[in-house]
Structure 1
Amino acid sequence: MAETEARPVPVANRYVPSQPFWDGAREGRLMLQMCLDTGRFQHPPHPLSVYTGSQNVAWRQVSGLGTIYAVTVVRVPGPGLAGRLPLTVATVELAEGVRLIANIIDSPPERVGIGAAVELAWDPLADGTPYPAFRTLAQGAADAQD
């Protein structure tokens, strides 16, 4: 049963430079590629700018603030993933204009909706590698209104 609960550990890709993303994660920083010609972020990482085709890209830290663009709740009956379900998965649009797919943690699924403000959180993988996740910012305010 332990195999079904462990999430795979990421491996840096030799064709697409992703090591700075994982190095930043270990330091608690969300790092994304930026096209230096346009000043726009891109994700997932590419060897070239998706905007200009140039190699003029660099890794920069982003704020980790965003809003939920789309959301779904994963529910699977039976043993194996107990403790991880239901799992709220969202497409988060960061303040920098990039969308990431990530888990929403520390928030009950019924409190997570499109347009909700979120902040970066870290959800450790089986080996302790910090993996980017998000938590809603409005959680406390929503609870206070009930």
Structure 2
Amino acid sequence: MSENNVVNAAPVRPVPRQSVYVDTKPFWDGIAEGKLVLQYCTEAERFQHYPRPVSLYTGRRTLEWREVSGQGFIYACTVVRIPGPGVEGRIPLCVATVELDEGVRMIANVLNCSPSDIAVGKRVKLAVDQLAPGHAYPAFELA
């Protein structure tokens, strides 16, 4: 095919891969259902994120998956204004470190939000971002 006949395909957004070291299936299954499910150390009685093979607090395998509220506040935030892979058509993109009510922090996009609306301390709730068909990803929106 010559250069003149090349068809420009729509940009593909990168999708996450499941870890080969930690079973993250409960996390991804939860997001697909619109729920946020995190690891919980039954000994320390605390949540942790990102998923790990052992508890951050005890170093033991005393972990189980539990649903959390999906609510929290913006701990830190920024606005992506420079185009890059996977953000085509989404600029400006609001991104935040969210501290969940359960005490863990996650970095995620804040959907349906203008750059002037995003601010430290604002309350947020779980939203689901569809990266591609069948690939739900955790995000937040202003509460």
Q: TM-score, normalised by structure 1?
A: 0.86
| Residues 33 and 116 (structure 1), Cα distance of their counterparts in 2 relative to 1, 3 Å cut | same
Q: Which of residues 87, 94, 97 in structure 2 aligns to 1:88?
A: 94
For 1:52, the aligned partner's letter is T
Secondary structure of 1:25's counterpart equals: helix
1:34-79: per-residue Cα shift (whole Å, max 9, x none)? Answer: 001011000101100000011010000010000000000000169x
- Checking the alignment, whether the CA contact within 8 Å between 2:83 and 2:91 is kept in structure 1 is no
- Checking the alignment, whether the CA contact within 8 Å between 2:13 and 2:87 is kept in structure 1 is no
Secondary structure of 1:6's counterpart equals: coil
Structure 1: which 4+ aligned runs deviate by more than 4 Å?
none
Once the 2 structures are TM-superposed, how far is the Cα of residue 129 of structure 1 from its aligned partner? Answer: 1.5
Give percent identity, aligned residues only.
55
- Which stretch shifts more, 10-19 or 32-41? 10-19
- Checking the alignment, whether the CA contact within 8 Å between 1:7 and 1:126 is kept in structure 2 is yes
Structure 1: gaps of 5 or more residues: 138-146
Q: Which of residues 127, 136, 140 in structure 1 aligns to 2:133?
A: 127
Once the 2 structures are TM-superposed, how far is the Cα of residue 2 of structure 1 from its aligned partner? Answer: 4.3
Once the 2 structures are TM-superposed, how far is the Cα of residue 107 of structure 1 from its aligned partner? Answer: 1.1
For 1:110, the aligned partner's letter is S
- Checking the alignment, whether the CA contact within 8 Å between 1:68 and 1:116 is kept in structure 2 is yes
Q: Distance between the aligned counterparts of 1:120 and 1:76, measured in 2?
A: 25
- Checking the alignment, whether the CA contact within 8 Å between 1:71 and 1:90 is kept in structure 2 is yes
Structure 2: gaps of 5 or more residues: 1-7
1:23 aligns with 2:24: no
1:1-42: per-residue Cα shift (whole Å, max 9, x none)? Answer: 646x32222221111221111111111111100001011000
Q: Distance between the aligned counterparts of 2:61 and 2:53, measured in 1?
A: 7
RMSD of equivalent CA atoms: 1.7
Q: TM-score, normalised by structure 2?
A: 0.88
More helix by share: 1
- After superposition, where does 1:31-42 map in structure 2 within 5 Å? 31-42=37-48
2:17 corresponds to: 11
1:102 aligns with 2:129: no
Q: Distance between the aligned counterparts of 2:9 and 2:131, measured in 1?
A: 13
